[in-house]
Amino acid sequence: MGTNAIFVKAVDKSDQRPGTWHRVQTVQVGTHLEGINVYAYCPDCGRRCGLHSTHGRSHAIRGDGVVHPSMICPHAGCDYHEFVTLDGWTHGSLPMHDGET
């Protein structure tokens, strides 16, 4: 791990370039919870990694876009592991949670 890697905001949800991030606002449908999902695309393997979600593992995101803990790509064969900052983050602070409802 080196210095903070800067991830740029994706143009839209179809923009899946390595090193980009996007936020998806979910809505309540049936028994699903309302929430915010934040995804980043690994700069090494290019695959999607969840940073913050209503379900599952979560990272905290500070108001200035700094993510904690560090991002570890979960995909087999990829060893990306860095501290990251989400450039263009304007969605306030999101605390870490365990995903339990």
pTM score: 0.82
Per-residue pLDDT tens for 56-86? 557 889 999 999 999 999 999 999 999 999 9
Using only the alpha carbons of the chain, give its radius of gyration: 13
Per-residue pLDDT tens for 29-63? 555 545 778 999 999 999 999 888 766 557 889 99
Question: Are 59 and 69 spatial neighbours (Cβ–Cβ below 8 Å)?
Answer: yes
